[in-house]
Structure 1
Amino acid sequence: MGEKDIAEKVLEDYNDVFADIVNVLLFQGEQIVRPEQLEDKTLRSSYKADGKLREIVRDVGKNWNQDTIRIACLGIENQTDSDADMPLRVISYDGAEYRAQLIRDISSQDGGDGDIISTKKRRDIKRYPVVTLVLYFGYEKPWSSSKSLLDRLTVSDALKPYVQDYRINVFEIAYLTPEQVKLFQSDFRIVADYFVQKRLNHEYKPSPQKMKHVHAVLQMMSIMTGDHRFEDAYNDAIRKEELNMCEVLDRVEKKGYDAGRIAGKIAGKIDVFYHELGMSVSEIAEKLTMTESEVQKILDESE
């Protein structure tokens, strides 16, 4: 898993954020899932194909336990573009979770040999559901790809009644209403608010809401928007435990202003050295500890 993939999932992996996303998107803001009921689960599962062992990796997954009984496995998948094969991907993730329920825990009291539990014993074992949420962050256009397995497959009319469908849960974050955004209680409200504002107004007016997981929010914003100034503002700032997006963007603007002012001073010096003092490009580069190509580029841009 690459650094980019990891960075975009850090925020959602916090239990308070994960629970908040599930409560708003599945239960209309009712506090059904509590952070303390969630536990991290293994995101990797393996299968064999073409004689080789292959791996399936879910973005973010949690086991939801209530009153010490596991009742669900919840997973989140992030998308910035519509993916036609998303139904196939989700069914593979969910299928791996259901298959795992058929495999006996090696630490079980029945001997611990890792074999499949007998049919008779399986009758008394409670099975739990698997729910996957696909979060789509595109704001320029709605999700346009398949939302079910049958939508993706080419199936004849004669065969179609016998092919089982599989519907996926796509939540278009930028297309939530402002009222829905207000239901979020965690840092995810800031993320959702950004994408909704970009869709509605094509610009962003920051919220005064304090961020609990500052670095994770800015990492996710940086990855999802392609604007690395969000993370740069954090890295360059004094690392407070809490910031709001107003403070972050103020620092972004100040950094841009400072960088522009410094660039302007350098360009002014180069102009004086070259045009008034008659220094060569190589002499200017040596004096300012720059490369000749950098000096030449500034001279070309000033003409």
Structure 2
Amino acid sequence: MNSIDIESKKFLGQPKNFVSIFNALLFDGKQVLKPEYLKDENSELVMNVSSKHVDIIKRYEDGTYLDLFVIESQSYVDQSMVARVMEYESVARMRYIRQNFKKHVPMHTRLPMILTVVLYVGESKWNAAKRLSELEIIHPGFEDMFNEFKLNLIELNTNHKYNTGEKATQDFFDLLRMIYRKQILKEDLDREFNRDALYFAYVVTKNKELLNIYQKNEKGDVKVCRALDEMFEESTNKGIQMGIKQGIEQGIEQGIEQGSEKKELEMYRKMMDKGFEIKTIASIFSVSEESIKKLLMKA
């Protein structure tokens, strides 16, 4: 298990943080799902499904519904993710059936809802399938028979701003957006961020400035943005200086090239003035007649 998986379980496994991911995706941050109704799923299901790299599985019991919520934290683009999530949910459903019904499922029985959210924390664009129809070949005429499956995907590297309704996860979401976009809003310069969110953002991005800030502040919320803003500005200035340097080098190369062409042109003209034909000049200098003609036309 890598460091991202470990920190993901620690950070997202906290009840308030866990339900906020679903509230962000489903209810725009409204506190519809409550952390007090969450329970850890410690059955065989976790062993069976978690072995396939699912991060966190929890039961939700509020007296009316019994649901199973799953979070998969993903740091890289996986083309097979749609199929993987389908497998997780199928395993969970069959496990529930085997544990609760001896022979067959009684008529009118309704199974618990199983809902999986993929939290994509990578920097590169998610260009993999988001629907099963984008992964499988569907032949003409079979569209109506095809069973579609849609990925519940949260992407933190886009312009879309999610509202989680919970400070820790909101801080984590916003930190990743700032780092990936290399942009700090003016109103965020003195904003204080949750320390756990700061560390999780460091683990995901490997941004050393985040680690420095985390280590300097042993407890409480932390101001981050001014240091990041200075880092982004320094990085931009370095990029500009590098661009200027490359431009100067290219200019020198072009100058040398242009100077060489000028000398060739003068030589060709002198020889033509003395009566040499282009064919003869080309033969003497081992160049094509076409190249001499092009040079004369450019002048």
Q: Normalised by the size of structure 2, how large is the TM-score?
A: 0.64
Write the distance in 2 (CA, Å) between the matches of 1:165 and 1:194.
34
Write the distance in 1 (CA, Å) between the matches of 2:190 and 2:72.
26
Write the distance in 1 (CA, Å) between the matches of 2:30 and 2:226.
31
Q: Which one of the candidate residues 176, 187, 198 is aligned to 1:195? A: 176
Write the distance in 1 (CA, Å) between the matches of 2:13 and 2:227.
25
- State the Cα distance separating 1:150 from its structure 2 match: 2.4
- State the Cα distance separating 1:24 from its structure 2 match: 1.8
Q: Deviations over 1:168-191 (max 9, x none)?
A: 11122233545x44x532211111
- State the Cα distance separating 1:200 from its structure 2 match: 4.7
Q: Which one of the candidate residues 116, 119, 125 is aligned to 1:135? A: 119
Q: Which has the larger radius of gyration?
A: 2
Q: Which amino acid aligns with 1:239?
A: E
Q: Which amino acid aligns with 2:200?
A: M
Residues 39 and 186 of structure 1, relative CA distance in 2, 3 Å threshold: farther
Match of 1:244 in 2: 222
Identity %: 19
Write the distance in 2 (CA, Å) between the matches of 1:15 and 1:248.
31
Match of 1:89 in 2: 84
Unaligned segments of structure 2, at least 5 residues? 232-299
- State the Cα distance separating 1:210 from its structure 2 match: 4.7
Residues 226 and 99 of structure 1, relative CA distance in 2, 3 Å threshold: same
RMSD of the alignment, in Å?
Answer: 3.2
Query: SS of the counterpart of 1:72?
Result: strand
Query: Which of the pair is proportionally richer in strand?
Result: 1
Q: Deviations over 1:35-69 (max 9, x none)?
A: 1011122473438xxxxxx94231122211112x4
Query: Which of the pair is proportionally richer in helix?
Result: 2
Match of 1:298 in 2: none
Q: Which one of the candidate residues 202, 216, 224 is aligned to 2:204? A: 224
- State the Cα distance separating 1:125 from its structure 2 match: 4.6
Contact 2:8-2:55 within 8 A present in 1 as well: no
Write the distance in 2 (CA, Å) between the matches of 1:14 and 1:189.
14
Match of 1:274 in 2: none
Q: Which amino acid aligns with 1:193?
A: D
Residues 19 and 94 of structure 1, relative CA distance in 2, 3 Å threshold: same
Residues 17 and 33 of structure 1, relative CA distance in 2, 3 Å threshold: same
Unaligned segments of structure 1, at least 5 residues? 48-53, 106-115, 254-303
Q: Normalised by the size of structure 1, how large is the TM-score?
A: 0.63
